[in-house]
Amino acid sequence: MAKNKFNQNWVHDHINDPYVKLAQKEGFRSRAVYKLKEIDENEKLIKSGQIIVDLGATPGGWSQYVRQKLSGKEGGGIHGAIYALDLLPMEPIADVEFIQGDFREETILAQLETHLEGKKVDIVLSDMAPNLSGNSTTDAARVEYIIELAVDFAKAHLKPNGALLVKCFHGPSYNTLVTLFKNEFKIVANKKPKASKDKSAEVFLLGKGLKNSN
């Protein structure tokens, strides 16, 4: 019974969420787009001509936003390149190269590297989050693992002055992850955009400029 009440409350909150309504109005696939938009507008991250990788991209809201930033007008192509990766399928987005699979696997990485043709990436975005169990220790370990994967990916593919933005959560592993970012990036910032609900532990970590670029 309690679970049904929780589900009803969630549905009510979701339907009445101003960012859900705005996403529907503006044609975005998820409210998460406004988290990226606020961070981008504050940090001036996404610029025409860049190569951007979107990890954990499905349903595609972040890729839609990036495409808008890299394009002049709808249907007119983009200046730059967007590569979206996810285990789950994603409805196509114009000018976005989608690769379905696990980016830890050699075959999936090889597909991406074929597209990149030896070029390094300007920005790696990751809105990935694990399936949470409710056990804080287990969940912290899962979050940490996913972010470590994103950092490793960024170290291998970013330009020296590139940036990595990841979804993170305040919890047992948060300080460890901030230290990881500070070890790898010259500039590290913690971001809590307005579209992240106040009661949510969700934050975003931004790292700019690799300390040890290949």
DSSP string, 152-186: HHHHHHEEEEEEEEEEEESSTTHHHHHHHHHHHEE
Tell me how crowded residue 129 is: count the other CB atoms within 10 A of its CB. Answer: 17
* 102 has binding-site annotation: yes
38 sits in which H/E element: helix 33-43
* 62 has binding-site annotation: yes
- Between CA 137 and CA 146, with CA 143 as vertex, the angle to 5 degrees is 140
- Catalytic residue at 167? yes
CA distances from 142 to 53, 137, 156 (A): 22, 9, 21
139/41 Cα distance (integer angstroms): 31
1 sits in which H/E element: none
Nearest CA to 64 out of 24, 16, 117 is that of 24
144/109 Cα distance (integer angstroms): 21
Set 47, 167, 182, 191: catalytic member: 167
Binding site for S-adenosyl-L-methionine: what residues are annotated? 60, 62, 86, 102, 127
Catalytic residues: 167
